[in-house]
Amino acid sequence: MKQLVDKKILNEVIEERSKDSHKGNYGRLLLIGGTYPYGGAIIMAALAAVHSGAGLVTVATDRDNIPALHSHLPEAMAFDVKDKDRLKEQLAKVDIILLGPGLAEDDLGLELLETVLGQVKEQQILILDGGAISLFSKVTLPLPQAQTIFTPHQKEWERLGGLALAEQLDTANQEAVDRFAPGTIVVQKKPGTTLYQSGVVDCYQISAGGPYQATGGMGDTLAGMIAGFAGQFSKTSLFKRVLAATYLHSAIADELSQKAYVVLPTDISRKIPSAMKKVTEE
């Protein structure tokens, strides 16, 4: 059955921080993407993750892309995505891996996907987005040994789920999701974004958002928020955290759209800290 997700999910998930906590308690994130010519995408994902409260964010991207990233966000560490030793070292250390915003579907992209899938471990959370989904759909690769979240838009879901656009109905979608390892989460992005989890009967539709979000980079920002939330709020299930991030992303867009015909992804990121604060005051 389809459930509607409304603002109650935010109160369930977003909690006041404990006084004795430190940045290690809020997730170590590794964001991989932004390869030529898509550098901006990983910048938007990183902006979203940091503003969502992530403890430590490291970005692996084209070396040429690092100055632009740091011009937005000196808060993130950043290294050359071709620096294999460092990539492996980081993959071993972090709690959350987001692969795909602005990942070109080329040899480097495939190599990165293989490296990540080969090294990721059960207790880590892996988010596959954008180019990583397309590449994953094209080649035969083992399912990741991690709690996995896919964030496809409709075209990417066609390939990943093996369902033509017209067939993307809830029952068929759920069946496709159930072919992944139990617990795998799929965020199907569309007007009325819907979330599925492998092995769970209900799916969840976000009751927020609108056409003012129809602009490039919106999905990269969502992926960054999901990564940010995944590294926090461990008292609630991963699925609820993803629901909360996805709802909040559109809820902020709704609010901004009161005064803007189109809502830019980076505008959403800047609003995350105040929107989260409001939740804790209710």
3-state secondary structure 4-37: EECCHHHHHHCCCCCCCCCHHHHCEEEEECCCCC
Using the rule CB under 8 A, which residue among 5, 30, 41, 245 binds a second copy? 41
Query: Smallest gap, in angstroms, from Cβ of residue 132 to a second copy?
Result: 17
Name which of residues 21 to 40 contact a second copy (CB under 8 A): 21-23, 25-26, 36-40
Q: Check if the beta carbon of residue 225 is closer than 8 Å to that of residue 248.
A: yes
Query: Smallest gap, in angstroms, from Cβ of residue 80 to a second copy?
Result: 8
For helices 265-281 and 39-51, give the axis angle rounded to 10 degrees: 10
- Which x/- pattern, by CB under 8 A, does the window 146-185 give for a second copy? ----------------------------------------
Is 225 a binder of a second copy (CB under 8 A)?
no
Using the rule CB under 8 A, which residue among 4, 92, 165, 260 binds a second copy? 260
131 annotated to bind ligand: no
220 annotated to bind ligand: yes
Query: Smallest gap, in angstroms, from Cβ of residue 242 to a second copy?
Result: 18
- Name the segment binding a second copy (CB under 8 A); options: 68-76, 108-116, 125-133, 236-244: 68-76
Query: Smallest gap, in angstroms, from Cβ of residue 177 to a second copy?
Result: 22
Query: Smallest gap, in angstroms, from Cβ of residue 32 to a second copy?
Result: 13
Torsion on CA atoms 20, 24, 27, 30, rounded to nearest 10: 160
Structure tokens at 125: 């959370």
153 annotated to bind ligand: yes
Q: How many residues does the chain have?
A: 282
Is 208 a binder of a second copy (CB under 8 A)?
no
Structure tokens at 205: 């539709």
Specify the pairing of strand 96-99 against strand 185-188: unpaired
Is 11 a binder of a second copy (CB under 8 A)?
no
Using the rule CB under 8 A, which residue among 7, 12, 72, 163 binds a second copy? 72
106 annotated to bind ligand: no
For helices 218-230 and 265-281, give the axis angle rounded to 10 degrees: 40
Specify the pairing of strand 77-80 against strand 96-99: unpaired
Query: Smallest gap, in angstroms, from Cβ of residue 247 to a second copy?
Result: 15
Q: Check if the beta carbon of residue 69 is closer than 8 Å to that of residue 40.
A: no
Q: Which is nearer to a second copy, 5 or 41 (CB)?
A: 41
Name which of residues 261 to 280 contact a second copy (CB under 8 A): 261-266, 272-274, 276-277, 279-280
Query: Smallest gap, in angstroms, from Cβ of residue 121 to a second copy?
Result: 23
Is 93 a binder of a second copy (CB under 8 A)?
no
Is 143 a binder of a second copy (CB under 8 A)?
no
Cβ-Cβ contacts under 8 Å for 214 (sequence gap 6 or more): 262
Q: HSE on the CB side for 109, CA within 13 Å?
A: 26
**H helices within the chain, ranges in order?**
8-13, 39-51, 66-72, 84-93, 107-119, 131-138, 154-161, 170-178, 218-230, 238-257, 265-281
Q: Please enumerate, by residue number, every residue annotated as part of a binding site.
A: 41, 102, 153, 189-193, 219-220
